Structure 1
Amino acid sequence: MSDHPDMDCAPAGPVEQHELFKQFEGTWKAEVSLWMGPGEPMQSTGTMVNTLDLGGRYLKQDYKGDAVDGPFPSFEGRGFWGFNDVTGKFEGLWIDNASNQMGTEQGDYDESSKSWTMLGEMSMPGGAKCGKRSVIAVVSDNEHSMEMFFTGPDGSESKGMHIRYTRA
């Protein structure tokens, strides 16, 4: 290896943090609660299939909703979750057929709570930005959850989504 940073371009292999993705491999049933404002959330279900990709560097997520009607009929989404060993952060990318935005997040893992806290930002109609915080928590080998919170213009946070995943 060279002392010159431009010369250190050897491909990086998976590191210890990538091992954490193995627990999410497989097929999961999803129970989704979605808040579009005050009041009771909308409910839906779906299936998430998670596979390790590119030599175990990424968790590839493929989601398909069960609903054929409602606010998001035939909902589908794709995600990638990885660990950036340069920044020391976990990174996520999400796309779906309910939006034309690519959602990105960065965050950290807390071993004591077996959870990730991921932070991101969304563009709103009119160009304003909205902060986003996701918490992914491992409950057991056969259950995990994802909660998503949005930050309003006044800085207050509101829950937007909760997904309970159980191994199929």
Structure 2
Amino acid sequence: MLRKISLTAASAVAVLGMVGAPEASAGAVVGTPAAVAQSVPSAARAADDLAPGPHHRVLDSLVGTWKATKTNYLLGTDGQPVVSRDMTVKVRWIAKTGGRFLEEKTEGTLGDITYFRLGVLGFSTIDRRYEWTTFDSVTPTAMTYRGAPVSGSPSVLSIPGEFTDPGVLGPDYRGKAIPMRTVITIRSKNKHTFDLYFTPPGQSERLVDRVVYTRKIK
């Protein structure tokens, strides 16, 4: 039984390796030693493309325990934002995903209420883009962002998305699709910022939330 399973797995790898492989030369027959050997480099390249790489390493600076100061421009009154200075953020690579995704947990208060946020940040090696999704104790929907393809090792990540407004922009916008954008600026290994922008229909993009992270040094 074990040998049968191993053969099945090997066959699957061989098939995956042949997807996108160079066309077989004239006279080569699929299944011959030459054809199998030809598929091996493709399989290796596919494995490299799926594994965490340099774009994941850009996010290493975000790992750790942080003191966060959150400034929210939607919840304030008389033009004054709500500022929270008691937030603690813990960020780690999720080992069971093979180190492909970061988990962020934020706890503290926002105004006079208890605040919690769970975020997952990663880089899609297939789409060549950063992806960011959050779930919190204030917003009744997942906030999902998908960036444009990137290259190099950026220190500023601009990741757009869209959400259905539950009324945070006012009753006139309730139920409407609102474009949004998170900008992550990695300033150093000990400091970074998350800026959230909304673009209400018929209006210019505006900053609605800023979080400044400072590493807690033991």
User: TM-score scaled to structure 1, two decimals?
Assistant: 0.86
158 and 115 in structure 1: CA distance in 2 versus 1, 3 angstrom threshold: same
Aligned with 1:14: secondary structure? coil
Partner residue of 2:18? 2
Aligned with 2:55: secondary structure? helix
Asked if 1:52 corresponds to 2:93, the answer is yes
**Which of 103, 107, 111 is the aligned partner of 1:64?**
107
How far apart are residue 97 of structure 1 and its match? 1.2
Structure 2: where are the runs of 5+ without partners? 1-16, 22-42, 167-173
Tell me the alpha carbon deviations over residues 99-152 of structure 1, each in whole angstroms, 9 at most, x when there is no partner: 220111012568687110010111014421001011110111110011111001
Partner residue of 1:116? 157
Asked if 1:140 corresponds to 2:188, the answer is yes
Aligned with 2:56: secondary structure? helix
How far apart are residue 156 of structure 1 and its match? 1.1
1:54-133 equivalences in 2 (<5 Å): 54-65=97-108, 67=109, 70=112, 73-107=113-147, 114-125=155-166, 126-133=174-181
User: TM-score scaled to structure 2, two decimals?
Assistant: 0.68
What amino acid maps onto 2:69 in structure 1?
E
156 and 61 in structure 1: CA distance in 2 versus 1, 3 angstrom threshold: same
Partner residue of 1:40? 80
**Larger displacement relative to structure 2 (90-99 or 38-47):** 38-47
Partner residue of 1:159? 207
Aligned residues: 163
What amino acid maps onto 1:98 in structure 2?
V
112 and 90 in structure 1: CA distance in 2 versus 1, 3 angstrom threshold: closer
Aligned with 2:146: secondary structure? strand
How far apart are residue 69 of structure 1 and its match? 5.9
How far apart are residue 33 of structure 1 and its match? 0.5
**Larger displacement relative to structure 2 (110-119 or 139-148):** 110-119
Q: Is the 8 A contact 2:58 2:155 kept in 1?
A: no
Give the Cα separation in 2 of the matches to 1:23 and 1:68.
Answer: 26
Structure 1 vs Structure 2 CA RMSD: 2.5
Q: Highest Rg: 1 or 2?
A: 2
| Structure holding more strand per residue | 1
Give the Cα separation in 2 of the matches to 1:141 and 1:64.
Answer: 21
111 and 163 in structure 1: CA distance in 2 versus 1, 3 angstrom threshold: farther
Q: Is the 8 A contact 1:132 1:150 kept in 2?
A: yes
Counting aligned pairs with the same residue, the percent is: 27
Give the Cα separation in 2 of the matches to 1:22 and 1:55.
Answer: 14
Q: Is the 8 A contact 1:94 1:104 kept in 2?
A: yes
Structure 1: where are the runs of 5+ without partners? none
